[in-house]
A and B are shown apart, each in its own frame.
Chain A
């Protein structure tokens, strides 16, 4: 019994393309495979000829012909029915495998028998025969997977689970693989990412790789697949189409109406924003009170003692009995102020917020609370924009140093493979606007007081992840952040050293980045020499 069964439904590919595909299988350094090919009634006679030729050359090519065209789901299921291997790998009839693809997967599975699903990075094969647009993927990121089919190729999974979940389903043509992987990962014990380009996806005008508009029905099938996944797994959500094709928004519903404590440290600073002088904290609070659709809130304002009395008066007038005012009379220490505020908070969730914030999307708290109610999630971050609309925060990236991903890029930037328009797991988020479960805050001991000014949020995020909680970032909670109008943004060497003394390994191994990216950059640029 071979270890790998390669599954390929075939429908009328050009002869040279099909040959290249089969040659890439023959060239595998790990020879423990069978290739299950199902010709789905191809009208061109060369398809049967090429398949027969290869079956004659090597008995590991097993070919079946359907009498009539049944579509990709039927053909793929026929190929799965032929499979005898422990693992199934999916290969389209016009794509190529890297020679060491199966060997790399074998190495993972031999090392950890609890892995049930393996996926790798991939790139595109242009019509000119060049390998272009590599997709360097994150490690397993379930929230991102609900937003887009990012694992795609190469995908290898245990045949037992594929059979258990009922193989491909009719009615999901075009997104049948997305639907299958959703169902498989619901049951998989472990999912592993191989950060190597092991699959080359050929760009043809008729394929999705070459033309995103090629199969419009596929996107609706994808949306239904995610909706059914949410229904099966008990995620209370409605799935909508996202900003671009193939991206979905899982719009979760808030369960109940938990109290959210908004914790804001301030010294009542005034600043000029959009040409107008304002008291930052008062306008931040006002924007939440007036714009937020989620209103089960209390506000814990941690005010430095020099905070002007008129600012306190304005806050009292705005908030009434929803205000808890805590005085702070020590030198500036952001962590200590946040911790002090959190100690006075009564809410199930804490919204850690800077005072130089303004709400842009009114449902930002509904979005963040609903995500944070997921039992595995410890903290949720928002999309923050500078006053000029550029990106201030789209999640952290720990690429040998902590970075804000795509810092100062255009606010409506999509990011590589839609990274900036999907809800996703991240290694950390900024404490300028972060919703954290109070019990998680308590569990990890809040923000570290030894980092007064910078990186306390990086440390906090890493503590949360170390405790086993996921951190999510959402592009659907948008706020303006007039960053560092209240203090100088300088970073001290001691702060760097302290952070590295605690988290050196984590800062160099971000599971939601990729080792193929150039170190010390925030923008997913691949290493020039690999």
Chain B
């Protein structure tokens, strides 16, 4: 008695293929898939054309090959990262500009103070000395 896993000897390969096709048709019908073409060559050709058109449409959406989606994702991430990086660098530069502006203000203030407290009295003294 052969086990249920071994192929019965009386069944030919063609018969098996037919049974598989029938099973696939039943499964597709049960799953609510598109109407199978059956044995009609014209219907089959139409269905193949329809499916090819759908594949072409999807490919157009996704890109030329299946790896494009992955590529698009990594490119998108790189773009996002570059934007974040540029923003951060701009922020650092803005901070640096503010710091430099503050330094400039401080220097100007010091210069004014120096002029007021030292240079101006020195000039006045010089003028006085010259008069004498």
- Asked if B118 is at the interface of the complex by the 8 Å CB criterion, the answer is no
- Asked if A444 is at the interface of the complex by the 8 Å CB criterion, the answer is yes
With A and B bound together, what is the CA distance between A445 and B76 in angstroms? 7
* A502 touches which of B69, B73, B80, B85 (Cβ 8 Å): B85
- Asked if B92 is at the interface of the complex by the 8 Å CB criterion, the answer is yes
B residues in contact with A502, CB < 8 Å: 85, 88-89, 92
With A and B bound together, what is the CA distance between A466 and B79 in angstroms? 17
How many interface residues does chain A have, given as a range? 20 to 34
Q: How far is the CB of A311 from chain B (nearest CB, A)?
A: 23
Q: How far is the CB of A267 from chain B (nearest CB, A)?
A: 20
Q: Which residue of A lies closest to B85 (CB)?
A: A502
CB <8 Å contact, A448 and B70:
no
* A446 touches which of B77, B83, B85, B95 (Cβ 8 Å): B77
- Asked if A266 is at the interface of the complex by the 8 Å CB criterion, the answer is no
| A450-B85 CB under 8 A given contacts A340-B70, A343-B70, A504-B92 | yes
With A and B bound together, what is the CA distance between A448 and B85 in angstroms? 9
- Asked if B62 is at the interface of the complex by the 8 Å CB criterion, the answer is no
With A and B bound together, what is the CA distance between A486 and B92 in angstroms? 35
- Asked if B78 is at the interface of the complex by the 8 Å CB criterion, the answer is yes
A505-525 vs B, CB cutoff 8 Å, 1 = contact: the mask equals: 100000000000000000000
- Would you mind naming 14 contact pairs between A and B with Cβ atoms under 8 Å apart? A339-B77, A343-B69, A343-B70, A343-B74, A445-B82, A446-B77, A446-B81, A448-B81, A449-B81, A463-B81, A463-B84, A501-B88, A503-B88, A505-B91
With A and B bound together, what is the CA distance between A446 and B88 in angstroms? 16
- Asked if A442 is at the interface of the complex by the 8 Å CB criterion, the answer is yes
B residues in contact with A504, CB < 8 Å: 92, 95
- Asked if A344 is at the interface of the complex by the 8 Å CB criterion, the answer is yes
With A and B bound together, what is the CA distance between A339 and B89 in angstroms? 23
A residues in contact with B73, CB < 8 Å: 343, 442
User: 8 Å CB contacts to A: which residues of B78-116?
Assistant: 78-85, 88-89, 91-92, 95
User: What's the A-B contact tally at a CB cutoff of 8 Å?
Assistant: 55
CB <8 Å contact, A501 and B92:
yes
User: 8 Å CB contacts to B: which residues of A441-480?
Assistant: 442-450, 463, 466
CB <8 Å contact, A444 and B81:
yes
CB <8 Å contact, B92 and A445:
no
User: 8 Å CB contacts to A: which residues of B48-72?
Assistant: 69-70
With A and B bound together, what is the CA distance between A449 and B76 in angstroms? 12
With A and B bound together, what is the CA distance between A343 and B74 in angstroms? 7
**Apart from A343-B69, A445-B84, 11 more pairs, CB < 8 Å:** A336-B74, A343-B70, A344-B70, A444-B80, A445-B78, A445-B82, A446-B74, A448-B85, A501-B92, A502-B85, A505-B92
Q: How far is the CB of B62 from chain A (nearest CB, A)?
A: 14
Listed residue (B70, B79, B81, B88) with the most chain A CB atoms within 10 angstroms of its CB: B81
Q: Which residue of A lies closest to B93 (CB)?
A: A501
With A and B bound together, what is the CA distance between A339 and B88 in angstroms? 21
Q: Which residue of B lies closest to A335 (CB)?
A: B81
Listed residue (A447, A466, A502) with the most chain B CB atoms within 10 angstroms of its CB: A502
Q: How far is the CB of B102 from chain A (nearest CB, A)?
A: 16
With A and B bound together, what is the CA distance between A443 and B70 in angstroms? 16
| A505-B70 CB under 8 A given contacts A445-B80, A445-B81, A448-B85 | no
* A466 touches which of B76, B78, B84, B95 (Cβ 8 Å): B84
A337-377 vs B, CB cutoff 8 Å, 1 = contact: the mask equals: 00110011000000000000000000000000000000000
User: 8 Å CB contacts to B: which residues of A76-119?
Assistant: none
With A and B bound together, what is the CA distance between A504 and B120 in angstroms? 43
